[in-house]
Amino acid sequence: MSETAFERGNRLAAANQHEQAIAAFSECLRRNAQDWQALFNRGTAQMRLKHYPLALEDYLAAAALNPSSSNIKCNLAVLLKELGELALAENLLLEVLQAEPEHVDAWSNLGVVLQYALRYDDAVICHQNALQLAGASAGRLNNLGNALTCALRLDEAVNAYQQGMALQADDAFLGFNLSVALLLQGRYREAWPLYEQRWGTIMQPRYRERPWQGQDLGQQRLLIWAEQGLGDTLQMVRFLPELQRRHPEARLILACQHACLRLFAQLPNIELVPLEDTPPPHDWQLPLMSLPLRLDVTLATLSDQPYLQADPALASAWDARLPARQRGRLRIGIVWETGSWGVGIADHGRQNKSVPLTEFMPLLEDMDADFVSLQLGELPATLQDKVFAPEIGDFADTAAIISQLDLVISVDTSVVHLAGALGKPVWVLMRAESAPFFMAQGETSPWYASMHIWRQANPGDWPPLIASVAKTLRQLPRD
């Protein structure tokens, strides 16, 4: 018996051959435009390929043909979540659960939606309901662990991830997410090996061959390459001197982002290459954020002392371009946003790290201070008369400017790592969920002695934090 187009589409979709599956389901629909199952399955294949407008079109058409289908509503809710329409997604899933209170996928999806809506304890309850209804699975326990981690219920999160790994030890998402919970607790020796599982998640390594495992290098060449954000690069280069100390004859090559090249020229005996270029010949390679594992970094061995400095000539040149120093006024660098982002949920974390400008503005009011934007891009109109915006070319410029400031106040972005690396006083405006290398609580950082961490009391609630920062700022002594 020959395979139908619908069966072929399902087989191809199961094999992750989504383009071919779409073609098969389209063939079904040419024969019968009212085939809601073909529309639904084609929409799911489109969503897997992140063709969201086409997926939405198919799901809505399928829902019109079969308005009572809980599966269509569930998948449509997942798509709406991806588009950032959290309230619509939540309402759709509640509609499913009102009709089918034991719909496991609806509970799981609702938990994920509520997590993105910053309602972490509610998300936990949803995932617990899914587990109670369908039993333990790696995916459901991972979802539960993620919500618990965001709520900083870290002992519970660790337990959930470990239960999941007992069921599926090779699940990279469980291992990597467990490492994040452990990092937040400062349990570095347990966390670093699990952190290596990031390459089995959504991250792709730039190089795979000849990974360095920490063995003696002798006179061999080791390529170390930046792998994640600029802040991670600025933070992790601190370990290069220790690597040199342990392997004094080795040739170390650092492939990093262009924005870091001029600043990192101060690192002695490190060959620098742009990350996008073909690297010079090397014997071994290592992603930069694997250095803590290879060096067995713990809280007890981690130094919080400065390890970068601004170029003196560049600093002097920038000093002349900044607002003139005045007695009784501070020079303060500010960053309120982590950068521009796209639409939908993909940049959700970056958005949550940023302070909406309207909520940041009270920090600038009635202050005996000159504010300097350390944020790239055009200055918003509302800040034109309140903030000096230098034209920054790279981190060498940013370091030079920071060296001439009294204080940096910034959301969790690369600037706080640079200020800390320079030993400059820096206040971090930290979201309630914290971040892996900032610990779950406390006002100080084990990574930077000059850092003070201001933490949201409740997820997404910036105004009380900004008010506290502004009050403290007004009370700072001014020479």
Residue 234 pLDDT grade (very low, low, confident, very high; cuts 50, 70, 90):
very high
Sheet holding 426-430, edge to edge: 387-388, 369-373, 330-335, 407-411, 426-430, 451-455
pLDDT at 347: 75
pLDDT at 387: 95
- Rounded to the nearest 10 degrees, what angle do helices 414-422 and 395-403 cross at? 50
For 5-200, CATH number? Answer: 1.25.40.10
Q: What is the mean pLDDT of residues 252-268?
A: 97
Q: What is the mean pLDDT of residues 42-68?
A: 93
Highest averaged pLDDT of the listed ranges 39-43, 52-56, 144-148:
144-148
Of residues 116, 107, 117, the one with CA closest to residue 139: 107
Q: What is the mean pLDDT of residues 79-97?
A: 95
Q: What is the mean pLDDT of residues 376-393?
A: 92
pLDDT at 340: 59
Euclidean distance between CA atoms 412 and 9, whole angstroms: 45
pLDDT at 1: 47
Of residues 418, 29, 31, 30, the one with CA closest to residue 43: 29
At 312-334, the pLDDT tens digits run 999 999 999 999 998 889 999 99
Name the CA dihedral angle for 349, 464, 458, 420, rounded to a multiple of 10 degrees.
50
pLDDT at 29: 92
Residue 345 pLDDT grade (very low, low, confident, very high; cuts 50, 70, 90):
confident
CA angle 471, 473, 477 (to 5 degrees): 120
Domain ranges of the chain: 5-200, 221-294, 312-474
At 417-439, the pLDDT tens digits run 999 999 999 999 999 999 999 99
Q: What phi and psi values does residue 332 have, to the nearest 5 degrees?
A: -130, 125
- The dihedral through the CA atoms of 77, 81, 83, 88 has a sign that is positive
pLDDT at 202: 86
Classify residue 269 by burial, with Cβ atoms within 10 Å: 0-12, 13-18, 19+.
Answer: exposed
Residue 344 has pLDDT above 80, yes or no: no
pLDDT at 220: 97
CATH class of 312-474: alpha beta
pTM of the model as a whole: 0.93
Looking at every residue in the chain, the average pLDDT score rounds to: 94
Sequence-ordered strand ranges (E) for 152-232: 221-225
Residue 109 has pLDDT above 50, yes or no: yes
pLDDT at 90: 97
pLDDT at 309: 97
pLDDT at 281: 95
At 169-228, the pLDDT tens digits run 999 999 999 999 999 999 999 999 999 999 999 889 999 999 999 999 999 999 999 998
Structure tokens at 467: 């008010």
Half-sphere exposure of 167 (CA within 13 A, CB side): 14
Structure tokens at 119: 């309602």
Specify whether the CB–CB gap between 63 and 76 falls below 8 A: yes
pLDDT at 338: 87
